């Protein structure tokens, strides 16, 4: 797994309708992981199922029980690519089932789409720059 802390923030640029909210990390979360709702309403945990509905991207790393900021809409984020190639323009979904928890992959039909790649990824486990747009469920493969 290549999740790492950056000197630059994961949020590459805020959008006009940028939204981020604070949650509690149910388990340890790494910066840039895609997260989903946890056991309690105010908790999040790394996404672990391909294509599942998600909350957003972790803005920084946090230990279990710590407060964490989640980027939910608008702006751009640096995610970590799972298995397969992510190409600029691809719709993006969770790749946490076939890859490591919190990774992203190109969306398939029926996946919950969290955004769109605005550049090609840098290979499996590499950076995948994402425009965050909770689009909903993909009608067809990207």
**Exposure string (b/e) for 117-126, b if CB count within 10 Å is 16 or more?**
beebbeebbe
DSSP annotation string for 51-111: T----EEESS-B-TTSEEEEEEESSEEEEEB-SS---TT-EEEE-TTTSSTT-EEE--TTP
β partners of residue 81: 104
Q: For 59-109, write each residue's pLDDT tens digit.
A: 899 999 999 999 888 888 888 888 788 999 999 999 988 888 999 999 999
CATH architecture, domain 1-142 = Beta Barrel (2.40)
Q: Residue 19 and residue 74: Cα distance in Å, rounded?
A: 6
Sketch the domain layout of the chain as residue ranges: 1-142
Q: What's the pTM value of the predicted model, to 2 decimals?
A: 0.83
């Amino acid at each position: 797994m290549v999740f790492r802390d950056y000197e630059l923030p994961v949020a590459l640029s805020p959008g006009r309708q940028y939204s981020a909210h604070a949650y509690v990390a149910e388990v340890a979360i790494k910066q840039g992981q895609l997260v989903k709702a946890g056991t309690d309403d105010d908790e999040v945990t790394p996404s672990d199922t391909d294509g599942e509905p998600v909350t957003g991207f972790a803005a920084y790393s946090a230990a279990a029980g710590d407060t964490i900021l989640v980027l939910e809409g608008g702006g751009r984020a640096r995610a970590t690519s799972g298995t397969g190639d992510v190409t600029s323009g691809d719709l993006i979904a969770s790749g946490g089932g076939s890859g490591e928890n919190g990774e992203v992959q190109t969306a398939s039909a029926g996946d919950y789409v969290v955004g769109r790649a605005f550049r090609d990824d840098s290979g499996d486990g590499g950076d995948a720059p994402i425009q965050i747009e909770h689009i909903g469920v993909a009608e067809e493969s990207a």
